[in-house]
Structure 1
């Protein structure tokens, strides 16, 4: 029996919609995760994720929890579209008689992560803006004395202002600060996540060829996402630190990945690499659980079914 062909346009639409819905649901937790990871021993604004969310609501209102959401939504649509569709594409072409070995599943995940390289050139830049804007907003709202002293600007900078500052101080390379750490995080994440999700999802399938119920895909996405997220959290901490541009007088600055690792180990100890791990797991688990359910609903195929088909 010939292998069933996959429709890349449909998969890309599914991935984009899945990313938009998933990120909208979990963005407040992601904001708390970023702020927690940016904290160093000399400057602790929050004691926990709940403390961060409560202080954010008190100082910035409910919609403060969605500060920077537009940037993330702009990024996640193509990022999820590429990642999910690419994984399906590689799995399809690496499979033999519809079956994949674990090694080939990992290769497909690696291929999906690697396909993000072009997208990461944009993603890294916007994440840099997001991290910086979140940090300055937190300092301005919760540490007004720093504003009075001139340490922090009275108003949160815009992405364009940060761009001009980076170009002036660091040149073009400054816009892609943390790109290496982002690659080191996202490719291993895909290698772990996609094989684990596929195997967990297969356990709940109805028959050999039937699809798994939506709740099985949701639970599988949550378990696989949280596992992969915790596994790569140390690199996520490094990425977040590298992309934070403004530091307090008691905080470290880093020249690169190696320098960041060395200073974190020396000044904060190995446990610092687990900062925000449970927040990240709480972000990634529902994000990928929701994304996988939406992805398998087949919205893209439904939309494309209304387009006129070409006849030979």
Structure 2
């Protein structure tokens, strides 16, 4: 195992394919999560995930559930590719002579992966949240903005730096998420290995990804609520504005109580569980390695 090399291009392909499949499957639930997290006391339009999705379909049509999906599908490929490939990279270089990583080293690898991914995650989430929440604001103000125009307006008024609004909150969410997720997944996945040198069956990787993903998602949900609020540029009637992470956290706690930090946790767990389950199956099936092997094989 010591001389085993990782193929970075293959890992990037695997991560990208996994992200595309996963996002396509769970995006409506992610939209519900964003809208539930953004609504404040006194302006509650939705009582639950199902209520949000039903009202979205009624007011915006079926494809309203995929508002902002184009941004996510475009950027999720590099985002998931960086996250998964970076974790593999750090695990590979933190291992000693192929020995099993200690829990601390697994957490360090996850920390590195979470830190690397925010380069793409922050602008992706920034744009996605504006588009996902536009329907909720429109329902209050009776104004609908085109997706392309919203992106152009954001860039014009805030510049490239505006796409990184909420960077600190994104780091505070994604780094702890990766610190929890990757070690937990690795250890759960290892339980299903037939032998030390063999891969776990695909269903074990899927279940391990689901359990680890949902656990990590709920654990960092308070940071996700704060991040979502900070990255939402439009506000509903009488809704609070925030100057930073601590100001946002204080106002949520004061005005909405501790339970507000768990808004959307159920939706987020439902999004992350299959997303990472699918990601790990695609990743461990080695689709990227297969594709590169076909491209590099000599032609007859």
TM range (shorter): over 0.9
Q: 2-side partners of 1:289 and 1:103: how far apart?
A: 24
Q: Which moved more, 1:3-12 or 1:156-165?
A: 156-165
Q: 1-side partners of 2:68 and 2:292: how far apart?
A: 32
Unaligned runs of 5+ in 1: 148-152
Q: 2-side partners of 1:165 and 1:105: how far apart?
A: 38
Match of 2:225 among 237, 243, 257: 237
- Equivalent residue, structure 2, for 1:45: 45
Q: Which moved more, 1:290-299 or 1:173-182?
A: 173-182
Task: Say whether residues 1:205 and 2:193 are aligned partners.
Answer: yes
Alignment of 1:1-312 (within 5 A): 2-98=2-98, 99-119=100-120, 123-140=121-138, 142-143=139-140, 146-147=141-142, 153=143, 155-165=144-154, 167-168=156-157, 170=158, 173-308=161-296
Aligned length: 297
Q: 1-side partners of 2:148 and 2:224: how far apart?
A: 22
SS at match of 1:156: coil
Deviation at 1:113, TM superposition (A): 1.1
Distance 1:172 1:295, change over 3 A: closer
Q: 2-side partners of 1:197 and 1:274: how far apart?
A: 23
Q: 2-side partners of 1:62 and 1:135: how far apart?
A: 16
Q: 2-side partners of 1:297 and 1:91: how far apart?
A: 19
Q: CA RMSD in A?
A: 1.8
Unaligned runs of 5+ in 2: none
- Is residue 230–residue 280 contact of structure 1 (8 Å, CA) maintained in 2? yes
Distance 1:165 1:291, change over 3 A: closer
Q: Which moved more, 1:269-278 or 1:108-117?
A: 108-117
- Is residue 10–residue 288 contact of structure 2 (8 Å, CA) maintained in 1? yes
1:62-99 Cα deviation digits (max 9, x unpaired): 22211211111111100110111111111111112321
1:209-241 Cα deviation digits (max 9, x unpaired): 111111110110000000100111000000100
Deviation at 1:299, TM superposition (A): 0.8
- Is residue 213–residue 276 contact of structure 2 (8 Å, CA) maintained in 1? yes
Q: 2-side partners of 1:126 and 1:2: how far apart?
A: 37
- Is residue 129–residue 159 contact of structure 1 (8 Å, CA) maintained in 2? no
Q: 1-side partners of 2:27 and 2:197: how far apart?
A: 35
Deviation at 1:306, TM superposition (A): 2.0
Q: 1-side partners of 2:88 and 2:72: how far apart?
A: 24
Q: 2-side partners of 1:115 and 1:81: how far apart?
A: 11
- Is residue 131–residue 240 contact of structure 1 (8 Å, CA) maintained in 2? yes
